[in-house]
Amino acid sequence: MMSNRIWISCCALAALWAVATPSFAQEPSGGLSKSEERRRLKELRKELEGPFKKWLDEDVRYIITPDERKAFLQMSTDEEREQFIQGFWLRRDPTPDSLENEYREEHYRRIAYASERYASGIPGWKTDRGRVYIAYGPPDEIESHPSGGMYQRPYNEGGGFTSTFPFEIWRYRWIEGIGSDILLEFVDPTMTGEYRMTMDPSEKDALLYVPGAGLTIAEQMGLADKRDRFTRTDGTRMGTPIGGQQSMRYNQFERLQLYANIQKPPVVKFKDLEAVVDSTIEFNTLPFQVEMSYVRITDSSVLTGITVQLDNQDLMFKQEDGLHKAVVNIYGRITTVTRRVETFFEDTVSINTTPDRLAAEAERSSIYNKPLPLKPGMYRLELVVKDIIGETMSTYRTALKVPEFPDDALGMSTLILADKIERVPTRSLGAGQFVLGASKVRPRITEEFKKDERMGIYMEIYNLGEPEGEDIPDGEINYQIARAGSPGDLLLDVTEDFADIRGASLTQVTIEKLLPLEALHLEPGEYQLTLKVTDRVRNEVLTPTTKFKVI
């Protein structure tokens, strides 16, 4: 009886297993069994035989990201693959509105150069030097020893003379996503022309395994034994310099990290922000203000200043290494009316403060300035500002009308109200944030000033009339301040002759004033500043006006 019950139970379990088995054989995605999935991948590989396989495995082997490769392999038709390839190059095109794709042309030029220059029994693009050249371009410096021979080691590698295999050291000043001052070493230990990238600087030492030969300075002085090189635990066979301290460049973790990073596809800086610019969706979770100014460089070039201001209280601070830190990424793009990209910029703004000053820092504002030389004309500015820690973001789009400053007409720059105007060192003339000529001019975007502050006034006047027999312009500037809405009730009315302004010339007069508001006894409220510029030779008058607020 017991045996019958056991037999019935076994039959029931077998029946349940037969019912349950099909569900376990199914893949969670797509409803394909393992055998069907293998068959599909086999068919896909067969489909890719030809130009698509060559494009994936050769043309873009070193620059395609893992996610892009995975997406491409999931394409089921040639039409989808062709669209993917078009999008792949378009995402990397620095000027997507032009007919040519400079990135793609440069990429195939690098492949052709690497194939011709670095071939050694295998195609040049497959070699280590070819891979690095294709991905990151030509190095800034190359130290080449094509025949090897006698070589004096750097001190960090122990110093002393030895004989080497052929090798090259490539130096990149900067590689985006990897770092600065990158040194890559390639060695040809087989003397066949096939250079391999190495993490061990001693791999080029042809006398490494010869006792008593190719000694370091410490080994020559009896302070070290060559056999000690083979007991190192950092993966190298280098000699130790006198004193025992080596550069961090030779740290095993630094070398491993560099080796891993150099294998990755090149990164695209702030690609997430560029994608937002390409989109028509507006994001407004991070408030900021924008102001533009225009200052003449030549009659065909105008320095366009783009200033962004954020309130620190809208940013999220993160405590790190005893400091509170906020990080903001800024991406901007300027296009023509035909949507051709004229230029773009991307920068990071960091704010660091101590815990005891965090509350005070939150009450302040952070300001960023990007000066860009542009030709006169109509443009479109697109900005994305993103708080990296708080993950908030806003977009800004506006038209830019860059004015003309012809040489034969009286003209003026933007009238800028500033909270700081100061002279800059000679080495900083005309370069850097807020620098206009010989001065640093920081705009007050809000145009709000406290009663005890000094209000800066900056403006440039161009192409004044030439008095007969003189090289000093003949004219004056009248400064007027009145309450907003009451222009006739002047609270300030001061006139200054061009001849009294430092550096005044016929080509340009620069106005730089710091006005103490306290001396004017201005009550809180809105005011209007008017500059009346009179050129007596041309008999012309300019009257730029701006408003400001006293709080």
Answer yes or no: do 278 and 222 share one domain. no
Does residue 377 register a pLDDT over 70?
Answer: yes
Answer yes or no: do 416 and 547 share one domain. yes
Q: Tens digit of pLDDT for each residue in 215-232? A: 999 899 988 999 989 988
The C-alpha R_g of the chain, in whole angstroms, comes to 34
In 3D space, the residue among 203, 204, 206, 229 whose CA is nearest the CA of residue 216 turns out to be 229
**pLDDT interval class at 273 (50, 70, 90):** low
CA 470 to chain centre: 49
Q: Tokens standing for 480?
A: 């007027």
Beta 439-443 vs 448-449: how paired, if at all? unpaired
Give the chain's end-to-end CA distance (angstroms, integer).
101
**pLDDT interval class at 31 (50, 70, 90):** low
Residue 196 lies in a domain: yes
Residue found under tokens 């009659």: 299
Residue 43 lies in a domain: no
Q: Residue 464 belongs to a domain with what CATH number? A: 2.60.40.2550
The pLDDT value recorded for residue 482 is: 95
The pLDDT value recorded for residue 418 is: 97
In 3D space, the residue among 177, 342, 351 whose CA is nearest the CA of residue 271 turns out to be 177
The pLDDT value recorded for residue 336 is: 84
Top pLDDT among 342 and 48 is at 342
**pLDDT interval class at 428 (50, 70, 90):** low
pLDDT mean over 508-515: 95
Answer yes or no: do 244 and 219 share one domain. yes
The pLDDT value recorded for residue 17 is: 35
Phi-psi region of 360 (alpha: psi -120 to 50; beta: other; left: phi over 0): alpha
Q: How far lies 357's CA from each of 69, 320, 366, 406, in Å?
A: 48, 15, 15, 50
Domain boundary residue among 262, 280, 299? Answer: 262
Answer yes or no: do 392 and 306 share one domain. yes
The pLDDT value recorded for residue 98 is: 67
Q: Residue 274 belongs to a domain with what CATH number? A: 2.60.40.10
Answer yes or no: do 424 and 486 share one domain. yes
Q: Tokens standing for 200?
A: 């061990």
Answer yes or no: do 388 and 437 share one domain. no
Residue 463 lies in a domain: yes
Top pLDDT among 70 and 371 is at 371
Residue 440 lies in a domain: yes
**List of E strands, 312-413:** 318-320, 323-336, 341-353, 365-374, 377-387, 392-402, 411-412
Given a contact cutoff of 8 angstroms between Cβ atoms, the answer to whether 247 and 255 are in contact is no
Residue 36 lies in a domain: no
Residue 127 lies in a domain: no
Does residue 269 register a pLDDT over 90?
Answer: no
Q: Tens digit of pLDDT for each residue in 131-153? A: 999 999 999 999 999 999 999 99
**pLDDT interval class at 26 (50, 70, 90):** very low
Domain boundary residue among 376, 405, 434? Answer: 405
Top pLDDT among 314 and 431 is at 314
The pLDDT value recorded for residue 75 is: 80
| Listed range (119-133, 265-279, 495-509) with the worst mean pLDDT | 265-279
Q: Name the domain count of the chain.
A: 4
Phi-psi region of 85 (alpha: psi -120 to 50; beta: other; left: phi over 0): alpha
| CA pair distance 275, 213, nearest whole angstrom | 59
Answer yes or no: do 195 and 206 share one domain. yes
| CA pair distance 395, 286, nearest whole angstrom | 9
Domain boundary residue among 231, 262, 293? Answer: 262
| CA pair distance 49, 43, nearest whole angstrom | 10
Residue found under tokens 């145009």: 447
Mutual angle of helices 252-262 and 128-136, in 10-degree steps: 70
Say which residues have a Cβ less than 8 Å from residue 369's Cβ, sequence separation at least 6: 305, 306, 307, 308, 433, 434, 442, 443
The pLDDT value recorded for residue 204 is: 95
The pLDDT value recorded for residue 528 is: 96
Answer yes or no: do 419 and 395 share one domain. no
Q: Tens digit of pLDDT for each residue in 357-367? A: 999 999 999 99
| CA pair distance 374, 292, nearest whole angstrom | 13
Residue 505 lies in a domain: yes
Other CB atoms within a 10 A radius of the CB of residue 280 amount to: 6
For residue 110, the enclosing domain spans 55-120
Q: Torsion over CA of 105, 110, 115 and 117, rounded to 10 degrees?
A: 140
- Whether pTM > 0.85 for this model: the answer is no
Beta 448-449 vs 545-550: how paired, if at all? parallel
Answer yes or no: do 392 and 447 share one domain. no
Answer yes or no: do 74 and 161 share one domain. no
Residue 216 lies in a domain: yes
Given a contact cutoff of 8 angstroms between Cβ atoms, the answer to whether 420 and 456 are in contact is yes
Q: Tens digit of pLDDT for each residue in 166-199? A: 999 999 999 988 988 999 999 999 999 999 999 9
Q: Tens digit of pLDDT for each residue in 437-464? A: 889 999 999 999 999 999 999 999 999 9
Given a contact cutoff of 8 angstroms between Cβ atoms, the answer to whether 545 and 527 are in contact is no
Does residue 302 register a pLDDT over 90?
Answer: yes
**pLDDT interval class at 485 (50, 70, 90):** confident
The pLDDT value recorded for residue 331 is: 93
Answer yes or no: do 282 and 394 share one domain. yes
Other CB atoms within a 10 A radius of the CB of residue 332 amount to: 22
Answer yes or no: do 512 and 494 share one domain. yes
The pLDDT value recorded for residue 25 is: 36
| CA pair distance 527, 168, nearest whole angstrom | 68
